[in-house]
Amino acid sequence: MNIDEIIEGISRKDSRSISRAISIFEDELLADKAEELIRKLYPKTGKAHVIGITGPPGVGKSTMIGRVSGFMAEEGRKPGVLAIDASSPYSRGAFLGNRVRMQESLGEKGIYMRSLTNRGFKGGLSLSALGACKVLDAAGFDPIIVETVGSGQADLDIMSVAHTVAVILAPGLGDEIQAIKAGMMEIGDLFIVNKIDREGAFIAMKEIQDTLALGPQDKWVKPVLGLNSLTGEGFQEFIAELDRHWEYVNTRGDGKARLQGEVALIMESIFRKSLERLMSDEGGAMETLRRVYSREIDPYMAAELLMEYGIHDPARSTRLK
């Protein structure tokens, strides 16, 4: 597997090379290749507007993404779509849902779409999603739309990847304000009430506006928009607000918080792998757990010892005896 050849293919927007690169990030057994790939890709990135789409299940995120990416493609843009699905934290298996038809529909419009699992991460995103964004960025896709699993507060890590976060809600679900109060208000840059043709849509928009007015105010005034994914109503305004926020982000030039989150995602992955390797150690780790069981030390002391001697150099874990 020649990484340089894959990168050259990505530069040519070769779909096979793009898919191979993303598959490297998905395969935990190819961690070394993934690191080499991201190191060589990174200088070619930083141009694309990454848009995060989050919100509770059942609000029509996938349909809405299909419509907005289609409108963007008609304008001559080159959108790419990443859909993050839930996976078991034990088997890492995915519950992919109805993604095949969405992928085929977008493919007919020339839009690249890839469905990923969150690889057992507690949040809505994963390290594979972060890598996939870099691949699409280097390939010249812009914007890159990332749909999260829609697990409420667990989706807060969308801030680690996206420049703009759109929170999608719908009338009649009873969770519009609850979703915002669960942390969505802080991370959302735009708020969308989808299925605006339904009864109670405008009431929901008013409630969201009132709730936002009670929160901390910034130079960016968070718009609340209504969409109808069936008729296309409101989508041009939505795209205009996305562009306006991207301009605001570039003018402000403050990407420090997002980069901190990006690095934290990588650190989490490294820590998780190191911890799994350490806890499988039959030497120092098991002896430390035995000492906790016999009440010789407390769990906090055990965690500190394991981190001190095991995480950085697992071979030193025998010193825990």
Q: Is residue 316 part of a domain?
A: yes
Contact 151, 166 (CB under 8 A): no
- Co-location of 165 and 278 in the same domain: no
Mean pLDDT, residues 47-71: 89
- Side-chain half-sphere CA neighbours of 235 within 13 A: 19
- Co-location of 216 and 136 in the same domain: yes
Residue 44 above 80 pLDDT?
yes
From CA 113, how far away is CA 130, in angstroms rounded? 15
- Co-location of 93 and 125 in the same domain: yes
Domain with 275, as residue range(s), is 260-320
Please tell me the total count of domains within the chain: 2
Q: CA-CA distances (angstroms) from residue 187 to 157, 162, 207, 245, 312?
A: 9, 10, 18, 13, 33
Mean pLDDT, residues 67-74: 93
Mean pLDDT, residues 208-214: 83
From CA 306, how far away is CA 312, in angstroms rounded? 10
Q: How confident is the prediction for the chain on average, in pLDDT?
A: 79
**pLDDT bucket at 93, cuts 50 / 70 / 90:** very low
pLDDT, tens only, 158-178? 767 889 999 988 887 665 556
Contact 181, 211 (CB under 8 A): yes
Name the amino acid, one letter, at 157: D
From CA 93, how far away is CA 86, in angstroms rounded? 8
**pLDDT bucket at 258, cuts 50 / 70 / 90:** low
Contact 50, 162 (CB under 8 A): yes
User: What φ, ψ does residue 79 adopt, rounded to 5°?
Assistant: -70, 150
Q: 9-23, 155-169, 250-264: which has the minimum mean pLDDT?
A: 250-264
Residue 151 above 50 pLDDT?
yes
Tokens of 319: 């010193």
The terminus-to-terminus CA distance of the chain in angstroms comes to 42
From CA 35, how far away is CA 41, in angstroms rounded? 10
- Co-location of 265 and 138 in the same domain: no
* pLDDT above 90 as % of the chain: 28
Mean pLDDT, residues 8-23: 92
Q: Is residue 32 part of a domain?
A: no
**Of 185-189, 204-208, 262-266, which has the strongest mean pLDDT?**
204-208
Q: Return the SS3 of 169.
A: strand
- Co-location of 233 and 97 in the same domain: yes
Pairing of strands 80-85, 112-117: parallel
CA 168 to mean position of chain CA atoms: 15
pLDDT of 204: 85
- Co-location of 292 and 238 in the same domain: no
Tokens of 163: 């420049």
Contact 246, 163 (CB under 8 A): yes
From CA 174, how far away is CA 181, in angstroms rounded? 13
Among 223, 254, 285, identify where a domain stops. Answer: 254
- Co-location of 99 and 247 in the same domain: yes
CATH code assigned at 152: 3.40.50.300
pTM of the model: 0.80
Q: 136-145, 164-173, 270-279: which has the minimum mean pLDDT?
A: 270-279
- Co-location of 215 and 277 in the same domain: no
- Co-location of 220 and 130 in the same domain: yes
Among 254, 284, 299, identify where a domain stops. Answer: 254
pLDDT of 303: 82
CA 16 to mean position of chain CA atoms: 23
Name 166's bridge partners: 53, 190
